[in-house]
A = this chain, B = another copy of it.
Amino acid sequence: MSNCIVAQSGGPTSVINATVAGIVKANQLNPVYDRVFGGLNGIEGILAERFADLTDMSDEENHLLQQTPSSALGSCRYKLKRDNVEDFEKLLSLMDKHDIETLFYIGGNDSMDTVAALSEYAAKNGIKDKRFVGCPKTVDNDLMHIDHCPGFASAAKFIATTALQTWLDVNVYPTSRQEVFILETMGRDAGWLAASACLSGKVDILILPEDEFDEERFIERVRTCIQAKSKCYVVVSEGARYADGTYISAGESKNDLFGHAVLGGAGKTLEAMILASGAAGRCKVQDLASAQRSHASEQSLVDRVESFRLGMSAHMHSADKAFTGKMVALRRREGEAYDVEFFTVDADQVANYVKHFPAEWILPDYQGVTDEAIAYLRPLIEGSPALVYKDGLPAYVEPYYLR
C-alpha cells in the first residue's frame, strides 16, 4: 500500500483543521493509504521533507484538532509556479521517495491553481500513479462553484455576534450622546464577511467592496441616522473602494472631502471623514483583524461538520486512482430545510477566480443586504459544537510544525 500527504496553505481559518481531521478519520475507517502524512508549512515544508505522521491519531486528538484554529500543519505563501519545472520535479521525486500517491491540498484559489498545475504536469509527463486533490477553505467565501467555503461561516458567526454585542455596547448612553460605531471586517475583494454582520439585524450602514463608495452619500446616511436615533452602526469591509477602484484605505495619497489626509484602515478612514464632516461628535472603530479568522471558540457547527466531511469526501474519492486535479465541494439542496450535497469540480475551474457578493443582494444607499442574502447566510451559522476546555481556556492541539 502507498501513502498520502495532506498540507494547508494560505491564511488560517477556524475550521481548517477539521478537514485534516476528516481525512485522517476516513483513512482509519477505510485504510486506503498505509500512512497519512502531514506536510508542514504547505508546499514549502513538503519540498524540505518536513512531515508529521498523522495516521494513528487518537480519537481525542482528532476531536481537539477539529476545535483548534489556524493551520495545525503550518502554512506558507509559497506558490508553485507553472513554469517552475524544478519544483514540480522535486515534489514528484519526493512523493516517489516516500511512496506518496496522493497529495491533499487545503486552501483557497491559489492552492487550487497548484492542484490543477500539478495534475496537468503529471498528465503531460505520463505520470499516472499520482493524484492531486484540493479541499476548499477561506474565510472570504470567494471560491467559485462551491455554495460557501469552509471557514467562512465561523468567521461570519463571530462577526455577527460581535456586531450584536458591540451594538448593545454603543447604545447604552443617553440619546444626548451622538456616537457612530464602525466595525471593520476582512474581505479585500469580496464583501461576504462584512455582509454577514447584517445577521445581527443591527447594521445601519454597510460598505462592501462590490458597492461604489461615495463619501457625500455616506456622510448623508450617517447624518440621517444620527438625527433619527443619535447612534449609528456602520460595518465596512477592508476592501471598500471608490468608483475608480481605489481602496478608501489607500493612505496619505488620498485626501477626504474636507482636504484631510486619510490614514490607516477602512474603518479609521470612515472615522476621519465622519469627524471632519461633523456628522457625529464621537466615533469608535473596532477592527476585527486576525481574531475573526481564528476565533474557533465560537465555531459554527454547520461549518465544522461540513469542513470535516469535505476532508472525508476527498479521502473517499481519492480511492479512485483516476481522481486528480479536482476540488471537493458542496452545493445547497433545494427545499426549505438547509441541506447540502457533496460533489467535485475541476480545480482549474476554481483557481484564480473570485466569487463576489451578488450585486442584486445589496440594498441601495448602503442600507445593508436583502432578505435573500440573509436566507443564504442564516443556516450557515447555526449550531455550536460543545467545546472542550482546559484550565478555563479552549483546549487545542500543539501545532505539528512546532513539535
A-side residues, CB < 8 A to B, are: 8, 12, 41, 44-45, 68-71, 74-77, 157, 160-162, 164-166, 168-174, 177, 181, 199-200, 263-264, 284-291, 293-298, 300, 378-384, 387, 389, 391-394, 396, 399, 401-402
Contacts and interface: CB of A to CB of B under 8 A. Distances in A.
A165 B264 contact: no
Contacts of A161: 297, 393-394
Contacts of A8: 172
Contacts of A77: 173, 177
14 contacts: A12-B168, A44-B174, A70-B168, A74-B171, A74-B174, A157-B392, A162-B295, A164-B396, A165-B294, A165-B297, A166-B291, A288-B291, A381-B392, A384-B389
Majority-rule SS of A interface residues: mixed
Contact of A164 (B166, B379, B394): B394
A296 B165 contact: yes
Contacts of A378: 391-392
Given A157-B392, A289-B286, A384-B389, A168 B68 contact: yes
B165 A295 contact: yes
A12 B167 CA distance: 12
Nearest to A170: B290
Given A263-B263, A298-B298, 16 more contacts: A12-B172, A70-B168, A74-B172, A74-B174, A157-B392, A161-B393, A161-B394, A164-B393, A166-B291, A168-B399, A171-B399, A171-B402, A199-B392, A287-B289, A382-B392, A384-B387
Contact of A290 (B44, B75, B166): B166
Given A200-B393, A298-B297, A383-B392, A69 B287 contact: no
Contacts of A284: 289-290
Contact of A71 (B172, B200, B380, B401): B172
A126 B116 CA distance: 86
Most buried by B among A173, A287, A288: A173
Given A286-B289, A290-B286, A169 B74 contact: no
Given A74-B172, A168-B70, A392-B199, A291 B286 contact: yes
A168 B294 contact: yes
B289 A174 contact: no
A35 B294 CA distance: 46
Contact of A291 (B165, B297, B401): B165
B392 A174 contact: no
Give 10 nearest A-B pairs by CB, closest first: A381-B392, A70-B168, A169-B294, A75-B172, A165-B294, A286-B289, A382-B392, A41-B174, A70-B169, A71-B172
